[in-house]
Every structure is written in C-alpha cells, then in structure tokens.
Amino acid sequence: MTKLRKFEITLNNPQVVYFPGQVIQGQVIVELSDDMKMRGIRVKCRGKGHVYWSTGSGDNRRTYSASEDYVDVVLVLFGNGSSTII
C-alpha cells in the first residue's frame, strides 16, 4: 500500500489564461498515511504561447507558426536545492 494518500495543487484563482504581472497563488497539499523518506518537493511552473495560421489556398497556401516561453519557474517547497526563475 502506498504511503502517499493525497498530492494536490489548488490555485486560489484558477483560470486558463494569466496576464503579465498577475500573481498566482495556491496551496500544495501532501497527505501521508505513514512516515515517508523523501529528498524534497519541487513545483515547476511553465507558461508558453503557441500560434498557428495559414493564408491562401491550393498551391498558394502558406502556413505560419510561432512559439514563445513566458514563465519557467522551479520552487523548492521542501528539501535541499534552490528555486530558479528563468
């Protein structure tokens, strides 16, 4: 039987899209049935944008796409290591 009963991340204001400068807050809930050895708990947050479109038709059809990384954060909640913001 596993010692991990619950691992849950709950955001205070969950939504599909976040905007620059907007604060994201929440809780990480870890519930164990017994003592458990672990090196640490880290949470990684990534935010990316993707766009794809095409113009024209037939032989004149052109396709475009782009991607952009907005957020790449690792937070150490428990254990050794350091948090990083990229």
- Residue 55 is predicted with a pLDDT of 94
What confidence tens digit (pLDDT) does each residue in 23-64 have? 889 999 999 999 998 888 999 988 888 999 999 998 999 999
Residue 5 has phi, psi (to 5 degrees) of -85, -40
Task: Output the CA–CA distances (angstroms, integers) from residue 13 to 16, 18, 22, 42, in the order listed.
Answer: 10, 10, 11, 21
Confidence check: pLDDT of 1 > 80: no
Hunting for tokens 């949470």 — which residue is that? Answer: 43
- Residue 86 is predicted with a pLDDT of 59
**Cβ proximity of 55 and 62 under 8 Å:** yes
- Residue 18 is predicted with a pLDDT of 84
Provide the strand spans (E) within the chain: 4-11, 26-32, 40-55, 62-79, 84-85
Q: Mean pLDDT for the chain?
A: 89
**Cβ proximity of 59 and 44 under 8 Å:** no
